[in-house]
Structure 1
Amino acid sequence: MPAFGGTEDPPRNTDAEPWSDPEIWQMIASGNGRGVHHIESPAMTSLACMADVRDIDRLVAIVSVIRPGAANGLKKTQFARRAQGLEPVDYVHESLSKVLSSTFGVVAYEEHILQICEEFAGLPGGRADVLRRALVKQDEAKIAEVKVEFMAAAKARSRDAYSIAHVWDLVAGFKGYAFCRAHSTAYAVEAYQGAYAKRYHPAEFMACVLTNGKGFYSPLVYTLECRRLGIGFLSPDVNASSHAFTVEPEHTPSGTHAPALAKSIRVPLRSIKGLSETTLARWRKERCKATFQNVRDFCERVHPQGQEALDLIRVGAFDSLGGTRIEQFWRCLHSARDAAIDSDWLFLNTKEEAIRAQFREEPGILQMLQDETELLGYTVSGHPLDCHPNIRWDTYCPISELPRYHHQKVTVCGLIIVSRSHLQENGEPMKFISICDRSGIVECEIFADAYRAYGLATVRYPIVQVTAEVTPFDNQAGFTLAVQRIEKARHIQMTKASS
């Protein structure tokens, strides 16, 4: 998969007509829309791959096809196959060809119910809308009531019994809500615009996604997507951070002839867990007056609580002010004592010895990553997998290599970054998890049998070993991973000499 967000933004296809930029459609059709509103969930990225979405009409359609009313009865697979010519389009009755031509015979939009009732049966619009609402609410009594009227109206139009039964099945299969086409179109246009921003301005786009904080995924997943795109991260900084995630301009290290560094996203101070709004407000007010010269200057002007000061040290927010983190700790403590603040300032509600032990020696990279994970929810100084150095990654199939193993059993390993419980159609519990290694992210489908046997492992271990079958989509453009086993990951065996 291409990686963007390096030393310069990728070139735009300026010759492309609106809605026809092949670079954007390639992103959507390959399932790389993570972060793009409306098309970023695992279900939507999979459907975009299944249907090979490369035009605006098909994108409009899948926005509604994914909804419960349109999606039941394997309609997603039906739409995807028909859209690519992998199975013939069946309109059930010739009168519906005009109504369902844009969706290849699949009932995808709520107005399709009204249009089918009118074109096929001549049912009055008001009664057809009653049926639509009953289907959305799954009101079986009302559906049965309108069914009688539908049958009678269709017979009055001289429709044959076979066609009446099959068209009714088509209509009655639309149970649950979906969108009207206008609604789907608005979402699809917004999705295309988001995909455009991600394709041509990846760092700025992902910074906005992280700032907004209302996407489908956790910030951890979005930081992993940034890393896939070649975008790095910079620690919160009392002088450089703002209220939002911001993109640092490209720069070359002073005094060197090194190439310009890739764009990175600066993490805002507000992302630090436990930092109060009161402290943040004082920080913003004081920073507007003048930059902070050193740790003591910050403490005397902002007056953070003891734990807040410790957490700022742990995430590197004072690193640009100079000194080691041990020195920063003692400067915080001395600034409080010199200002006649309670000498227990850093130790309120906390065991003093535990804090002193924490700052007895400079943290190594592993400790820094663990602190960032605890306080931010993701790592800044390195990849999240750096927190797990003892995993035998070289013994597993990389996630990026899975497309090579269609219809084969593979064993992959990854950090669980998304976990969603679900019920199968028969009511049995199952689970979806997304795992990542350094090469990518993949969703795993844990059906009921495997979930009963191995579901506990998805809670017990942050990193799991997954044995599954790679089941390709009909168009071979993507796949699902049907889980057979989930276990604890293999670890490097430490000998007595090495330990």
Structure 2
Amino acid sequence: MMKAYIERYHAPDKVVYLCEVMKQQLAETYGVMVYQEDVIKVCHYFAGLDLADADVLRKAMSGKYRSKLAFDELVSKFFASARKEGHSEELITEVWRQISSFAGYSFSKAHSASFAVESYQSLYLKTYYPMEFMVAVLNNYGGFYSRWVYVNELQKTGAHVHLPCVNHSDEVVNIQGEDAYIGFIGVQGLEEKNIKIIPAERRTNGPYLDLEDFVKRSNISLEQAIILIRLGCLRFTGKDRKTLLWDVHNYLGFKQKKVNAAELFKLSYKTYQLPELIDSELENAYTELELLGYPLNYKMFDFLKTSYRGDVMAADLHKYLGKTIRMVGNYVCEKTVHTIKNTKMWFGTFLDADGEFFDTTHFPNNTPMYPFKGKGCYLILGKVVEDFGFQSIEVLKFAKLDIQMNPVAID
């Protein structure tokens, strides 16, 4: 019914109504039942049911009527009443098919209108305040996609997105001009008390001066400090992560003082001459993947063993309609549906190496098994098709690409 509505919306002059009653009651929606009120109107004006029975039937089809016997009686009453109105058996059956296929998924018109208002408000904010909007979405912690997808969208607005920093980050994502800092809430394993204490102490007594100053003022434990250092949250010191890990063990690698234990004099710690420590970008990316759930400064494509990024990018799909192409996509999500023959097919959503979305369709004859093998990048061979001006890929072959091993795991 959704597809039928879209088709009729684009060609209203070609709409063929089932009968004159349906045209009178559903002209606003091109003969398609869109709202719960439409079900009531059709039951009342087409079948001749009184409004009370029409509303009970509408509720029953939404799963709010538990008596199957009473429901079956209402269905029989619908058919009997519609026959009395002079409608043919074929017409009654088709109208009932449309009602039964739709009623369980419908909203009231008021509910739908409120969603429409919110959608337009969101679109306005996303258009004219894109950075602030995406920061708000991230801080809302409730979206359809995984968190990294919204971070990618924030980067596409022109924002410079930074890893958490003890001297810039708050509990949640904040934005300072064109600089956005990931909040501490998103760090895996960081305790709630530290999520609050670190920015609160900075706001009260000023920025942290160095690692030692941070350790003393935040009263952080060794384990918690290691998490922050591994993620680069103390990069303001100018030292690389591995050097800071050595230093923090020097400060905290012994029994800690009691909380609020004041020092009469500033005590100095021994310093050691360290050998050159290699700070690998790939290793840091794996750390971000572990502690944030996604790499911020390292695309998923950069994990691949191959440098191949596909023959075609999403922005150019319109140039290849009807042609078979190869693409490489970073998995975002998929939807499983059942066909008329009770076989499974899938719709996939991916990002290309430029960070642009594209969709795939996986028909049962080309994908006899579940095609997706978790997060990562996939090599996609398929035909470019178009529906209402939107291009997608009908997949012929599909395979997940190998990635480089974490240097730490290799060692």
Name the TM-score class by shorter chain: 0.7 to 0.9
Partner of 1:282: 197
Partner of 1:199: 127
Unaligned runs of 5+ in 1: 1-74, 250-262, 343-358, 493-499
Q: Give the structure, 1 or 2, with the largest relative contact order (CA under 8 Å, sep 6 or more).
A: 1
Partner of 2:223: 307
Q: 1:340 to 1:147 in 2, by over 3 A?
A: closer
Does structure 1 retain, via aligned residues, the 8 Å contact 2:36–2:108?
Answer: yes
Compute the displacement of 1:392 (Å): 1.3
Compute the displacement of 1:125 (Å): 1.0
1:269 has 2:187 as partner? no
CA distance in 2, matches of 1:463, 1:284: 36
**Equivalent residue letter for 1:361:** L
How many residue pairs align between the two structures? 384
Of the three residues 302, 315, 333, the one matched with 1:418 is 333
Partner of 2:376: 462
How do 1:42-121 residues align onto structure 2 when only pairs under 5 Å count?
75-85=1-11, 88-121=14-47
Compute the displacement of 1:126 (Å): 1.2
Compute the displacement of 1:183 (Å): 0.5
Q: What SS does the corresponding residue of 2:171 show, helix, strand or coil?
A: coil
CA-to-aligned-CA distance 1:338-396 (integer Å, 9 cap, x gap): 77569xxxxxxxxxxxxxxxx97242322222221221122222433233363312x52
Compute the displacement of 1:77 (Å): 1.4
Q: What SS does the corresponding residue of 2:373 show, helix, strand or coil?
A: helix
Q: 1:340 to 1:80 in 2, by over 3 A?
A: closer
Q: 1:376 to 1:162 in 2, by over 3 A?
A: closer
CA distance in 1, matches of 2:339, 2:226: 47
CA distance in 2, matches of 1:314, 1:155: 74
Compute the displacement of 1:133 (Å): 2.1
Deviates more, 1:107-116 or 1:94-103: 94-103
CA-to-aligned-CA distance 1:441-498 (integer Å, 9 cap, x gap): 2222223333325x45x3178221111222211x3x1033221111244999xxxxxx
Partner of 1:241: 169
Q: 1:424 to 1:141 in 2, by over 3 A?
A: farther
How do 1:2-21 residues align onto structure 2 when only pairs under 5 Å count?
none
Q: 1:162 to 1:324 in 2, by over 3 A?
A: closer
Does structure 1 retain, via aligned residues, the 8 Å contact 2:222–2:253?
Answer: no
How do 1:274-423 residues align onto structure 2 when only pairs under 5 Å count?
274-290=189-205, 291-337=207-253, 361-388=277-304, 390-393=306-309, 395-423=310-338
CA-to-aligned-CA distance 1:282-336 (integer Å, 9 cap, x gap): 3244224313111111112223333321221122211113323233223212222
Partner of 1:446: 362
Compute the displacement of 1:337 (Å): 4.7
Compute the displacement of 1:150 (Å): 2.3
Compute the displacement of 1:162 (Å): 5.3
**Equivalent residue letter for 2:378:** V
Q: What SS does the corresponding residue of 2:17 show, helix, strand or coil?
A: coil
Unaligned runs of 5+ in 2: 259-274, 405-411
Partner of 1:471: 385
Identity %: 25
Q: 1:420 to 1:123 in 2, by over 3 A?
A: closer
Compute the displacement of 1:209 (Å): 0.7
Does structure 2 retain, via aligned residues, the 8 Å contact 1:131–1:142?
Answer: no
Normalised by the size of structure 2, how large is the TM-score? 0.84
**Equivalent residue letter for 1:306:** L
1:188 has 2:104 as partner? no
**Equivalent residue letter for 1:436:** L
CA-to-aligned-CA distance 1:246-279 (integer Å, 9 cap, x gap): 1121xxxxxxxxxxxxx23210122111101132
Deviates more, 1:143-152 or 1:116-125: 143-152
What do you get for the CA RMSD once the two structures are aligned? 2.9
CA-to-aligned-CA distance 1:209-268 (integer Å, 9 cap, x gap): 11111000111111222233333311111121112211121xxxxxxxxxxxxx232101
CA distance in 1, matches of 2:166, 2:323: 51
Deviates more, 1:290-299 or 1:323-332: 323-332
CA distance in 1, matches of 2:172, 2:312: 37
Partner of 1:486: 398
Of the three residues 228, 238, 248, the one matched with 2:156 is 228
Normalised by the size of structure 1, how large is the TM-score? 0.70
Compute the displacement of 1:84 (Å): 0.5
Q: 1:225 to 1:278 in 2, by over 3 A?
A: same
Partner of 1:54: none
Partner of 1:122: 48
Partner of 2:270: none
Does structure 2 retain, via aligned residues, the 8 Å contact 1:421–1:429?
Answer: yes
**Equivalent residue letter for 2:392:** T
CA distance in 2, matches of 1:405, 1:459: 28
CA distance in 1, matches of 2:125, 2:90: 50
Does structure 1 retain, via aligned residues, the 8 Å contact 2:210–2:237?
Answer: yes
Compute the displacement of 1:405 (Å): 1.7
Q: 1:157 to 1:364 in 2, by over 3 A?
A: same
Deviates more, 1:115-124 or 1:483-492: 483-492
Does structure 2 retain, via aligned residues, the 8 Å contact 1:220–1:417?
Answer: no
Q: 1:428 to 1:142 in 2, by over 3 A?
A: farther
Partner of 1:72: none
Does structure 2 retain, via aligned residues, the 8 Å contact 1:204–1:246?
Answer: no
